[in-house]
Amino acid sequence: MDLPRSFVIRESSHRIHDPLTGEKLATLGRALRLPPEARVLDLACGSGELLCTWARDHRITGTGVDISTAFIGRARARATELGVADRVGFVHGDAGGHVADEPVDVASCLGASWIGGGVPGTVRLLQRSLKPGGIMLIGEPFWRRRPTEQDAVTGCHVDSVDDLLLLPGLVEQFGALGYDVVEMVLADQDSWDRYRAAQWLNVRRWLDTHPDDELAAGLRAELDTAPARYVRYEREYVGWGVFALMRR
């Protein structure tokens, strides 16, 4: 059970595996006005940047769960680097059924709502770990502009135009699930670039040093087209944001 190696290669330099920059993640941490010692559960935590930096900046404690051994290893190294290894811990595993032993103040899943089979299922999963009055964080894509051609939908790495909502529709979906949206931090095109464009240099450097690897031909072909595909489609059509929710 591990994340396919191609993802680890593409995101080898990333501390944040989503379209938020470190500044935006810090803005979110400040916006939530977390009390010291707040307990946070982060499902599909990637390399643990949310937990590690919020432990440093806001004195939270927490646990991250991720299926990638590489990312969990980096999360533990980052916790040591920031001097917060006594405040945050990281578990390698499938987060799909993970529920905290004790209810937490904040339960999050940024950029991985498939672990609950979509937004409603992930909301239900996170709710099972939350204290009454706790805050849920969901990081999710939406259409900035709804494409009219299937080429554009596919170019955005989406199967069907109905797989994403426009931003108002996504916000209304949280309401329909019984939650108040109490904060949000959205990506913009520049922060999307930090996520996607940074992958191209990672792939190019890896290709230069691993020409005979079994993944080389596929990643070479991907790099030939990924930048143009991104600026033509995803950068124009897809938005992304983290939404803070409280149950009504």
Ligand X SMILES: C[S@@+](CC[C@H](N)C(=O)[O-])C[C@H]1O[C@@H](n2cnc3c(N)ncnc32)[C@H](O)[C@@H]1O
Report the residue number, 2 or 149, with the smaller CB distance to ligand X: 2
Site of tokens 């803005």: 27
- Nearer Cβ to ligand X (8/211): 8
Q: How far is CA 167 from the centre of its chain?
A: 17
At closest approach, how far in Å is the CB of 69 from ligand X? 9
Q: How far is the CB of 211 from ligand X (least distance, A)?
A: 26
Point out the residue whose Cβ comes nearest to ligand X: 46
Closest approach, Cβ 110 to ligand X, in A, equals 4
- DSSP codes of every residue in 78-142: HHHHTT-TTTEEEEES-GGG---SS-EEEEEEES-GGGGTSHHHHHHHHHTTEEEEEEEEEEEEE
Distance CA 115, CA 97 (A): 8
- Closest to ligand X by CB, 45 vs 158, is 45
Question: What is the distance between the alpha carbons of residues 62 and 105, in angstroms, rounded to a whole number?
Answer: 10
CA of 68: how far to CAs of 9, 27, 73, 109, in Å? 12, 26, 9, 15
Q: Where along the sequence are the contacts to ligand X (CB under 6 A)?
A: 3, 16-18, 44-46, 65-68, 71, 94-96, 110-112, 115, 139
* Beta carbon of residue 112, minimum distance to ligand X (angstroms, whole number): 4
Q: Looking at beta carbons only, is 17 or 144 nearer to ligand X?
A: 17
